[in-house]
Structure 1
Amino acid sequence: MNFVKRAALSLVARRAKTALLLGIFLVICTLLLGGFLLQGATSRQEAEAQRRIGVDVTVRGDGLTLATADALGSSPPVVRYNPLLRGVVKPRGLSPLTSDVPRPGDATDGSGGDGLTVTGIRDSEMLLDFASGRNRIVSGRALTEKDARRDVVLLERRLADKNELAVGDTVELRSRDGKREEPFEIFEIIGVYEDPRPDPPQWMTPSELIANQVYAPVAAVSALGFGTRPSEAVFKIGSPEQAERLHTEAARLLGGERFRFDVNDKAFRDQILPLRRVGAFAGSLLWLIGLSGAVILGLIVLLTIRERRDELGMLLALGEKKWKLIGQHTVEVAVLLVPALALAALAGQSFAQQAGETLLAREEHTTSLPEIRMQAADLGRVAGIGLGIALVATVVPGIGILRLHPRSILTDTE
């Protein structure tokens, strides 16, 4: 009789052990599939978090210019960068907001006077207040690197409301310290943002008030007469590991140690490290399940072989080849992989989602796990590991069959 057919008859005849093996395989496949799905979900979320959050590196120093900031921003670790060039401008046809608090008698205009503070940037979304969501665009759009060669500005909502300005209108600005005969530059309003912080309780000059903060492309601010030396430049990189490479490049461009290099990876660590711990747990789970599954199934098959020694002896006496006897046991176990995998496909996704949320809930800075997506590759990997477990669990215990002869099996009373 064909050993595959014998395996099928044996599974039907031994329903209890068949159900036991199916249950064990179901648990193994469910845990394996859940582990793979959890790994995939954490990897996707980690990649998304690296793209969205990244690590901010702030560089300051005498050697920092717009040119060196551009050169450093073009280095491979840098995803985005933002030089910050600040100055106080005098507007024409536009009235800055003033403090509601009476001005003290001994107070001076300071460096700002009745002007506006303008900050030259490349990307407003990289500014901490905008990136954190505290400041938001209420009209128009954000300022991006595509505006680098344009004369455009972002105004705060209170300043725009006071002067009845909207997106598309223009304002005229020039350096407050410039000569009287210098012409005003015309800037188009591309966006209006809102800063929720209230005015300070003490008197401040107009240029120091939150509502009088204006953002424009760094080249346009430089052209107003504020030079080419930004106060700082912020570079966004993918991970903390890339900071050393960027530091080396900064030292080459800025010269020795004549600069300050600050790495702010708190947001990155708060989001990424919990995901990495969950991914590491999933990887350890896969190894544990694979090894323990092979051991458990191997012990069950070993006990089954010992119980069926008489059957094995009769088959060998009838001339059946030993490898076919081992093949029969392998088929009996491996064939159960198909229904176990089908049932695991229904339960694995739910298990992975619950396990991920439970593990992340234990972290200090929790984050929600993305949607668990099951793919054919995941089922294929589980099937491959399951088949490997079936082979190990049957071939290793079956090695003893190769050493025996029909007479020794039939006469052995152990």
Structure 2
Amino acid sequence: MNFVKRAGMSLGARMSRTAGLLGIFFVLCSLLLGGFLLQGAAARQEADAQRTIGVDVTVEKKGLTPALADRLGRSDLVHRYNPELSVRAGARGFTPLSSDPPEAGDTKRGEHEGREQAPMAVNGVRDVGMLLPFSYGSMKVMAGRGITPGDADKGVALVERRLAEKNGLRVGDTLRVCSADGRRTVPLEIVGVFEDPTQDPPGRQPPHQLPGNTLYVPVGTAQRLGTGPAPVSEAVYRIGSPDQERPLHAEAERLLGKGTFDFRVNDKAYRDQVRPIQRVGTFAGLIVRVIALAGALILGLVVMLQIRERRAELGVLLAMGERKWKLIGQHAVEVAAVALPSVALAALAGALAGQPAGDAFLGREDDSPAAGPHAEDPGIAPPTVRVEPAAVGEVAGIGLGISLVATVIPGIGILRLHPRSILTDTE
């Protein structure tokens, strides 16, 4: 009789043992698949975190120009970057905020404040979302939007709430500002209104030091408002991980000159939010290896016990001239026939319970503080657990490998026996 057909008949005749073996394989395959799904979800979430959080590198150099800052920002290592350039500007057609009126006897200072030619503090930026006050959430865009890389060289502005309320300005209105020397006037479309929680300083202060007189514009627009070459005060570059710090430093040395710039790395947000995800992925990989080893041992013991219980059957088959390798093949087929349905059931269970398990291991707590580095970003995406064919294939391959090991190793004892020794063994 064909040993494959005999394996099917054996499984049907021993339904209870077949069900028990099916249960063992189902648990084993479910745990294996869960490990692979958790690894995949952690890898996707880590990649998303590297794009949205990453590591911020601040570069400062005397005489750093926007062109040099842009050249370093075009590096393949950089996901986002933001050079910052500060100038002073005057007002045309609107009234800047001012300090309290001067007290009696201090009219000269009040007259000088009224003649201030450059009351506006203009900050040229490429990506306002990378500024610490906005990324930490202390400053918030209340209406409209912030300055983005798509606004390069456009005449747009982000204005402070107090200035907008005093002059009745809204998103879409035009604000006219001029250079500090009054020679150039630049119309700016208001694309957003932000709120700075900083209170006005006590006493009389120059208008440009009042938080409400701050404007954010693209770097090119700030350069047009300047009265001369305006260097970049600092540039911040976001890279994917701390491992990319050295390559970026090497590129900065090539562009800016070795030892001529300050290079600071801030990876706190990365450590706080990405490293836990990496630990979950490592833990999932460890689970897969431990389960594979334990599964092989457990199934090997189960098959060994079954072989011992079926010694009489084996002796009769050997006495009838059945080859030993076919006896081992019969047991391998029996175990494999149970393993394949277990993989299908595990895939179904993974589709139903995988997402809740991923949320439990990788999801954020609802009461965790939302404010933090890069809070303007959408943040780390929720874990997405998907039962992919590749993961199911890996589980099926490992399951069949375990079944092969679990039957071949105990089956070595069959190769060493003879029909007479099996049939006359009373143990």
User: TM-score surpassing 0.5?
Assistant: yes
Shift of 1:63: 4.7
Partner of 2:211: 210
The answer to whether the 8 Å contact 1:37/1:349 transfers is: no
Shift of 1:66: 1.5
Indicate yes or no: 2:134 matched with 1:130.
yes
Task: Describe the superposition over 1:323-358 as per-residue Cα deviations: whole angstroms up to 9, x where unpaired.
Answer: 211111111111112332233223335654455444
Partner of 1:62: 62
Shift of 1:47: 0.9
Q: Residue 231 of structure 2 aligns to a residue in which SS?
A: coil
1:77–1:362: structure 2 CA closer, same or farther, 3 Å change rule? closer
Task: Describe the superposition over 1:233-275 as per-residue Cα deviations: whole angstroms up to 9, x where unpaired.
Answer: 1111111111111111112222221211111111111111010
Shift of 1:368: 7.9
Q: Give unmatched runs, 5+ long, in structure 1.
A: none
The size of the alignment, in residue pairs, is 408
Q: Give unmatched runs, 5+ long, in structure 2.
A: 370-379
1:103–1:267: structure 2 CA closer, same or farther, 3 Å change rule? farther
Partner of 1:378: 391
Q: Residue 274 of structure 2 aligns to a residue in which SS?
A: helix
Q: Which moved more, 1:115-124 or 1:397-406?
A: 397-406
1:152-171 equivalent positions in 2, closer than 5 A: 152-171=156-175
Q: Residue 176 of structure 2 aligns to a residue in which SS?
A: strand
Partner of 1:341: 343
1:391 to 386, 399, 404: 404
Identity percentage of aligned residues: 55
Task: Describe the superposition over 1:281-309 as per-residue Cα deviations: whole angstroms up to 9, x where unpaired.
Answer: 00000000111001100111111111211
1:121–1:198: structure 2 CA closer, same or farther, 3 Å change rule? closer
Shift of 1:232: 0.4
1:323–1:297: structure 2 CA closer, same or farther, 3 Å change rule? same
| Residues in 2 aligned to 1:152 and 1:2: alpha-carbon distance in whole angstroms | 82
1:326 to 328, 331, 341: 328
| Residues in 1 aligned to 2:339 and 2:200: alpha-carbon distance in whole angstroms | 69
Q: Residue 324 of structure 1 aligns to a residue in which SS?
A: helix
Shift of 1:121: 1.0
The answer to whether the 8 Å contact 1:53/1:267 transfers is: yes
Q: Which moved more, 1:139-148 or 1:78-87?
A: 139-148
Indicate yes or no: 2:144 matched with 1:143.
no
Q: Which amino acid aligns with 1:214?
A: L
Q: Which moved more, 1:390-399 or 1:362-371?
A: 362-371
The answer to whether the 8 Å contact 2:160/2:196 transfers is: no
Partner of 1:11: 11
The answer to whether the 8 Å contact 2:37/2:391 transfers is: yes
| Residues in 2 aligned to 1:292 and 1:3: alpha-carbon distance in whole angstroms | 29
Partner of 2:376: none
Indicate yes or no: 2:415 matched with 1:402.
yes
The answer to whether the 8 Å contact 2:332/2:403 transfers is: yes
Indicate yes or no: 2:289 matched with 1:276.
no
| Residues in 1 aligned to 2:211 and 2:295: alpha-carbon distance in whole angstroms | 64
Partner of 1:119: 123
Shift of 1:4: 2.0
Q: Which moved more, 1:280-289 or 1:332-341?
A: 332-341
Partner of 2:312: 310
Partner of 1:264: 266
Partner of 2:21: 21
1:259–1:147: structure 2 CA closer, same or farther, 3 Å change rule? same
Partner of 1:231: 233
1:87–1:194: structure 2 CA closer, same or farther, 3 Å change rule? same
Q: What is the TM-score when the length of structure 1 is the normalising length?
A: 0.90
| Residues in 2 aligned to 1:101 and 1:44: alpha-carbon distance in whole angstroms | 58
1:385–1:10: structure 2 CA closer, same or farther, 3 Å change rule? same
Task: Describe the superposition over 1:20-39 as per-residue Cα deviations: whole angstroms up to 9, x where unpaired.
Answer: 21111011011011111111
